[in-house]
Structure 1
Amino acid sequence: MRHNRSLQKRLGVGLTLGATLLWLLGVAASGLVAQHEMNEVFDSALEETAQRILPLAVTDILNRETATGSRTAPALKEHDEYLTYVVRDRQGALLLQSHDADPDVFAALPREGFTDTPTHRIYGASAVSDTIYIEVAEPLAHRREAALEAGLALLAPLFILIPVSLFGIWWVLRLSLRPVVEFQQSIESRGASDLSPVNQDGLPEEFEPTAVAVNRLLERLNRALDAERSFTANSAHELRTPLATALAKVQRLKTQLEDQHLRKNVVEIEEALRSLSTLSGKLLELAKAEGGGALSQSPHNLVPILAMIARDFESRTPDRIRLTLPEGEVQSLLDPDVFAILIRNLIENALKHGDKQQPVDVSLTGAGILRVCNGGDIVPPDQLALLRNRFSRYDTKAAGSGLGLAIADAIASGSGMTLHLRSPASGRADGFEAEVNVTHAGGNSGPCT
């Protein structure tokens, strides 16, 4: 599964790794240059040492009483020599050596110039018509140690510079991308019904076209939704009066008919007109639910509203409503009229589609959790997800428009709440349950009691 990462994190990690890599490459290049320069200095020191010692060694050898035999140059005090030398004749016979010199380091026959062995760098020079040779040797380990110390000296400042540069990169990125993050948060934090333009002030030039396109899309979407809501509301409103008139005339006609066959037909027409009138009312409620006016400016106590609506249903359907209310108040920013539409649709849905022999449980807790639960057959999960859609109904013989749960879901979404539908109901083996936390309306985190 592909996981998207934030632009700020990508740039931060990328620039951090890039800067660190460039620092390390710079140190490596500097170390190589320093090592090359140090090798030149060491070679020059070998050559200079040979050139200075050779005349003294020649004088010492020529002034000996016997020209044969070797001699070790005395040391003023014991010390480790980085540079050791031997003086030999053309055949390789040892004439003079430094006090710490190892003859096995040198080749059998002396040579002029620079040569390398697995352990030493050697420089040779000759005098007296190439009859006396001096060879000065330096351990390669000494050079490696010097190169390592130089590299560490170059690397040490990075332990301070790299964290400082990384902090600087993250700080600059955070400061530069702050308008982009605010733009992102302004889109994420708005509710589904908030189609107002997003603020594009301070955005980088690269993101301005995105903000303009988003605002244009929101404007077009808002116009389209307004047109749809207006059409729905106006159509339903305009239908109410002629429907009421037609229903009244049909009812009067029914009382005047004596023919049972005609009377039956008129009754069917009456029921059709009642259904159409109910549908127009539901369409008006749906338009109000989707109109973005689900929230009020100040919180209201919803407990008495729920009690009043429950009593109204109880008078029409005795012994079907089982109401449970909290002892204290439940404050919510949900508009009282909108809450009334919400609870009426949930209770109507439970009464119509639930088991007629079982009561409908309506409860509101002190934490603001509203539950409407009824008995009945279990709704399959695939059908449960479709019940939020308009005109969607599960396999049932009960009359209805299929808009009740769509209206409730529109109210919940438009006010920042979530409508949970469950089947079977919580704590039961059958039935259906609708649950919503009314204190979440408008982004509240809890009840005010």
Structure 2
Amino acid sequence: MTTRTSLQSRLGIGLTLGVTLLWLLGVTASGLVAQHEMNEVFDSALEETAQRILPLAVTDILNRENGTGNQTTPAMKDHDEYLTYLVRDQQGNLLLQSHDADPRVFGTLPKEGFLTTSTHRIYGASAVSDTLYIEVAEPLAHRREAALEAGLALLMPLIFLIPISLLGVWWIVRFSLRTVVEFQQSIESRGAGDLSPVVGDRLPKEFEPVSVAVNRLLERLHRALDTERSFTANSAHELRTPLATALAKVQRLKTQVQSNQLKTNVAEIEEALRSLSILSGKLLELAKAEGGGAISQNQHNLVPILAMIIADFEGQVPERIILTLPEREVNSFLDPDAFAILARNLIENAVKHGSQNQPVEVNLSANGTLRVCNGGKVVPADQLALLRNRFARSKTDANGSGLGLAIAEAIATGANIRLHLLSPATGRQDGFEAVLNLVDAR
């Protein structure tokens, strides 16, 4: 199975991450702008507070009867005091302070304007010819807390918007690529024998050339297969007819000659023509097997076909073959003609090369597994691996062309199924077995 991600997944994930990243950048920029604006507002509040309190503080200090000692402004009720202030003279002597003010926060001598320390933002203003100073301080932690709350307020909607955007992006991508997915599924689901044009009328403009190229390729492949099948059929007729005619004439000549030596020579010619006829038939079967016609567009029940093949063999080897068939149909996309060739070659191989005093077992199970088993000597592993090749034969005295298993392998490969060759056979100490699952044909 491929590990590549689909275009739909790439677009969905990419667009969602892109939108999320843009939102985060937008929130970050908005937070920085909001923090800058809040700092301006807080600075303005410091300045306004200093200008409001300073005239009242000056009046209070100048109207005192007991000198200029320090006094603390009483609190009306307990509360968190974010703004604290001190009123001092130009030498730094403390004259007035808010109830929660900490003199250590402020500098030794008062100054005008804004000042930022490690913990506070301070604003200073003067009055009475720079003899009295007021300094108002605000904790920087208060500003950071306000900025954090503002940032969280901007981020909170993203918790709901990101999943919604993810669903929205996936839906839009899925809706936009639905015709492409249908096009992909239509190609993926069809069997190897389905060479009909692929419908691509609703594809996006960017994918139209793909549809056109696929249909052109299918058309060329269909013409090539038709041409090859026609050539195979014509070749079969042109080769078999002259060979059959020559064989018949030799057989007639054999009955007419009187000399024993001449009869022997004619018999040898007859056997050579018969072998040539069988070889030509096998070569034509191999050509058909490798021609790409192993898959049918529709499923077919293979049970009656196998029964008919076994009936043909009964006339050649009576009571030698034990056939086991399922009670229900076994449907497969394997072409009936290709299946007949495959089964006939496997059974012929078992009959010809198996032990003559042991039966050949042909079993077709309900799940589509075909097993052809025969007795005989164990085939060594090195020879077993070569039996799929053309003209390859194990060490045996039986006549044969060495093409039977090569034909079966070619048909199995064309149908995308695996032909297993086992020796010894399953559950036995000897013999040979061929196994394949017919319903896997695609």
Q: TM-score, normalised by structure 2?
A: 0.88
Q: Give 1:417 deviation, angstroms.
A: 6.9
Query: Relative to 1, partners in 2 of residues 1:380 and 1:16: Cα closer, same or farther, differing over 3 Å?
Result: farther
* 2: CA distance, partners of 1:255 / 1:45: 132
Partner of 1:306: 306
* 2: CA distance, partners of 1:141 / 1:428: 87
**One-letter amino acid of the structure 2 residue matched with residue 112 of structure 1:** E
Q: What is the root-mean-square deviation of aligned Cα atoms in Å?
A: 3.0
Partner of 1:373: 373
Partner of 1:209: 209
Q: Give 1:336 deviation, angstroms.
A: 5.8
* 1: CA distance, partners of 2:57 / 2:391: 112
Partner of 1:234: 234
Structure 2 residue 197 is matched with structure 1 residue 197: yes
Q: Give 1:98 deviation, angstroms.
A: 0.4
Query: Relative to 1, partners in 2 of residues 1:342 and 1:164: Cα closer, same or farther, differing over 3 Å?
Result: same
Q: Give 1:178 deviation, angstroms.
A: 1.1
SS of the residue 1:248 aligns to: helix
Q: Give 1:308 deviation, angstroms.
A: 4.4
* 2: CA distance, partners of 1:13 / 1:110: 59
Asked if 2 retains the 8 angstrom alpha-carbon contact of 1:85 and 1:136, the reply is: yes
* 1: CA distance, partners of 2:9 / 2:393: 47
SS of the residue 2:266 aligns to: helix
Write out per-residue CA displacement over residues 188-211 of structure 1, whole angstroms, 9 at most, x where no aligned residue. 112122222211111111111122
Partner of 1:317: 317
Query: Relative to 1, partners in 2 of residues 1:382 and 1:116: Cα closer, same or farther, differing over 3 Å?
Result: farther
SS of the residue 1:130 aligns to: coil
Query: Relative to 1, partners in 2 of residues 1:221 and 1:298: Cα closer, same or farther, differing over 3 Å?
Result: closer
SS of the residue 1:95 aligns to: strand
Q: Give 1:270 deviation, angstroms.
A: 2.1
Unaligned runs of 5+ in 2: none
The count of corresponding residues between Structure 1 and Structure 2 is 437
Q: Give 1:396 deviation, angstroms.
A: 4.5
Residue range with higher mean Cα deviation, 92-101 or 328-337? 328-337
Partner of 1:279: 279
Asked if 1 retains the 8 angstrom alpha-carbon contact of 2:83 and 2:138, the reply is: yes
Partner of 1:446: none
* 1: CA distance, partners of 2:422 / 2:230: 35
Write out per-residue CA displacement over residues 109-146 of structure 1, whole angstroms, 9 at most, x where no aligned residue. 11111111111111111111211111111111111111
**One-letter amino acid of the structure 2 residue matched with residue 21 of structure 1:** L
Partner of 2:266: 266
Q: Give 1:361 deviation, angstroms.
A: 1.3
Asked if 1 retains the 8 angstrom alpha-carbon contact of 2:191 and 2:295, the reply is: no
Q: Give 1:226 deviation, angstroms.
A: 2.2
* 1: CA distance, partners of 2:383 / 2:53: 99
Residue range with higher mean Cα deviation, 123-132 or 59-68? 59-68
Q: Give 1:157 deviation, angstroms.
A: 1.0
Asked if 2 retains the 8 angstrom alpha-carbon contact of 1:194 and 1:292, the reply is: no
Residue range with higher mean Cα deviation, 148-157 or 344-353? 344-353
* 2: CA distance, partners of 1:180 / 1:76: 74
Write out per-residue CA displacement over residues 42-94 of structure 1, whole angstroms, 9 at most, x where no aligned residue. 11111111111111111111111243311001111111101111111111111
Query: Relative to 1, partners in 2 of residues 1:261 and 1:59: Cα closer, same or farther, differing over 3 Å?
Result: farther
* 2: CA distance, partners of 1:44 / 1:296: 83
Q: Give 1:332 deviation, angstroms.
A: 2.8
Residue range with higher mean Cα deviation, 6-15 or 279-288? 279-288
Q: Give 1:302 deviation, angstroms.
A: 1.7
Partner of 1:422: 421
Q: Give 1:272 deviation, angstroms.
A: 2.6
Asked if 2 retains the 8 angstrom alpha-carbon contact of 1:379 and 1:394, the reply is: no
* 1: CA distance, partners of 2:383 / 2:187: 31
Residue range with higher mean Cα deviation, 78-87 or 285-294? 285-294
Query: Relative to 1, partners in 2 of residues 1:172 and 1:294: Cα closer, same or farther, differing over 3 Å?
Result: closer
Unaligned runs of 5+ in 1: 444-449
Asked if 1 retains the 8 angstrom alpha-carbon contact of 2:412 and 2:419, the reply is: no
SS of the residue 1:28 aligns to: helix
Asked if 1 retains the 8 angstrom alpha-carbon contact of 2:421 and 2:433, the reply is: yes
Partner of 1:29: 29
Asked if 2 retains the 8 angstrom alpha-carbon contact of 1:232 and 1:283, the reply is: no
Query: Relative to 1, partners in 2 of residues 1:68 and 1:112: Cα closer, same or farther, differing over 3 Å?
Result: same
Query: Relative to 1, partners in 2 of residues 1:87 and 1:261: Cα closer, same or farther, differing over 3 Å?
Result: farther
* 2: CA distance, partners of 1:150 / 1:296: 66
Residue range with higher mean Cα deviation, 332-341 or 113-122? 332-341
Aligned 1:18-167 pairs, distance under 5 A? 18-167=18-167
* 2: CA distance, partners of 1:26 / 1:342: 69
Q: Give 1:291 deviation, angstroms.
A: 7.0
Asked if 2 retains the 8 angstrom alpha-carbon contact of 1:192 and 1:413, the reply is: no
SS of the residue 2:328 aligns to: coil
* 1: CA distance, partners of 2:218 / 2:429: 45
Residue range with higher mean Cα deviation, 82-91 or 277-286? 277-286
* 1: CA distance, partners of 2:336 / 2:225: 24
Write out per-residue CA displacement over residues 265-286 of structure 1, whole angstroms, 9 at most, x where no aligned residue. 4333322321222233345545
Query: Relative to 1, partners in 2 of residues 1:195 and 1:430: Cα closer, same or farther, differing over 3 Å?
Result: farther
